[in-house]
Amino acid sequence: MSLILYILLLLIGLGAGWLLRGNRVQTELQDLDARWRRRLSEVEGDRDRFAAELNQATEGRARLESSGLGAAPAEAEAETGGVAQLQADLAQARQHAQGLEQELSKARQAHADCRAASARLQARLDALEPAGPASIGGAPAEPTGSSTAEAAAPAPSGEPGGALGLTGSSTDFASRSSAPGALAEAPAAAVYEPTAAPAAAAPLAGEKPAALASAEGTPDDLKLISGIGPKIERTLHDLGIFHFWQIAQFTRDNVAWVDQYLSFRGRIDREGWIEQAKILAAGGTIEPGRHYGTQ
């Protein structure tokens, strides 16, 4: 039954897709038709203009010949060249118009094919929609006692069939689970065994900065340094760093040690802690918006 419903949904989805595609193709064909009609009207206008110019040139030539001015070779050749050019332009415009008409005919044929396919899909959908679970495949069969019991009995949450949707009767599962060693293996796989204690951390590179047992007077507000927040400030206090001058005196080994200790990956240099600490230790200020709390 689920397979039939899946097929029905698939056909409905395909039909809806074809309808949407048909509407899109119809819109594109209408746009193409309007565009080619405009182009065709432009070509026809050029053709009429060329024909009018050709007629004027022919009339002028006839007037020249009738008035006896045909003896002027230069004017006659110029007039003849203009007529030939107009004739060539007119032939080119007619050829272009024929090509446009052929493309418009192809677009109309594609439009008609798309509408026919959409109508066929709509007919198939109309034929499938009234079919319900009872009318597809005849009357439902009466469930047997064993199958009813198996369907009604919920699979335990720990069984593979209940969690993964595997098929099989409860009797088969019971016979498998009652075999010697069948249930003894599952708990063993689920028992948590603590892993061994992690190895001692590798020593940090560089050199730990000189620490103070406590602040000399009032500790400086290290959060004025861009990149230091309350959490990092507490960590620096734990390391015995309370003042700007301590950070300003960091050596490269000190920077490497603190950078690795805090897992910063070069953040101290990127944010310029030492430069900022030197300014603050000298009584200067950091530009507003850089230190913590003013973002």
Q: Which domains does the chain have, with CATH numbers?
A: 2-128 (1.10.287), 209-295 (no CATH)
Output the CA torsion 104→109→110→115 (10° steps).
130
pLDDT at 239 (0 to 100): 95
Q: Check: CB of residue 136 under 8 Å from CB of residue 4.
A: yes
Q: What average pLDDT does this structure show over 12-23?
A: 83
Max CA separation in the chain (angstroms): 127
Instruction: Flag whether pLDDT at 97 surpasses 90.
Output: no
**pLDDT, greater one: 36 or 164:** 36
Q: What average pLDDT does this structure show over 280-285?
A: 92
Sequence-separated contacts (24+) of 20-27 with Cβ below 8 Å: 21/114, 22/114, 22/115, 22/117, 22/118, 25/110, 25/111, 25/114, 26/111, 26/114, 26/115
pLDDT at 280 (0 to 100): 95
Average pLDDT, the chain: 75
C-alpha 132/C-alpha 136 separation (Å) is 6
When mean pLDDT is compared over 25-29, 76-80, 146-150, the highest value belongs to 25-29
Question: Could you say which DSSP state residue 180 is in?
Answer: T
Question: Whole-prediction pTM value?
Answer: 0.33
Q: Check: CB of residue 248 under 8 Å from CB of residue 277.
A: yes
Instruction: Flag whether pLDDT at 196 surpasses 60.
Output: no
**pLDDT, greater one: 32 or 136:** 32
Q: Check: CB of residue 226 under 8 Å from CB of residue 276.
A: yes
Q: Which amino acid is at 126?
A: D
Instruction: Flag whether pLDDT at 123 surpasses 90.
Output: no
C-alpha 274/C-alpha 225 separation (Å) is 9
Per the listing, tokens 């500790």 go with 219
**pLDDT, greater one: 198 or 78:** 78
pLDDT at 11 (0 to 100): 87
pLDDT at 291 (0 to 100): 54
Q: Check: CB of residue 259 under 8 Å from CB of residue 265.
A: yes
pLDDT at 132 (0 to 100): 44
